[in-house]
Homo-oligomer: A and B are copies of this chain.
Amino acid sequence: MAEKRVVDRLEELRRRIDSLDEALVRLLSERAACALEIGRVKKLAGLDVYQPAREVEVLAHVQHINPGPLDDAAVRRLFERVIDEARRLERLAEAEEERRRSGIG
């Protein structure tokens, strides 16, 4: 490939990655908001927030629909991080709620 063509092709691929990253950030943020909302609904209803069975289901689902080129173990690791961050956010929200309540009470 001529140098100019290489540079153009790399630039095109990087622009595509940047736009994929923008979509990923949007979806990850929406997913985190949904996970927070699930935590709120469960807490209001007095249900247990942590659900290992649901996590197994989520991980099985994403591996099942994985089209490649990432292997299933990679997809699993990626979603383990996604789930971890949702859990972390949930804990932060709970701590914030506690603080607010003890500030009022």
**Chain A positions near chain B (C-beta within 8 angstroms):** 1, 3, 6, 9-10, 13-14, 16-18, 20-38, 41-42, 44-45, 47, 54, 58, 61-62, 65-70, 74-75, 77-79, 81-82, 85, 88-89
Contact = CB atoms under 8 A, between A and B. Distances in A.
Contacts of A82: 24, 78
Report copies per complex. Answer: 2
- By secondary structure, the A interface counts as helix
A24 B28 contact: yes
A27 B42 CA distance: 30
A47 B6 contact: yes
A21 B81 contact: no
Contact of A70 (B32, B34, B44): B32
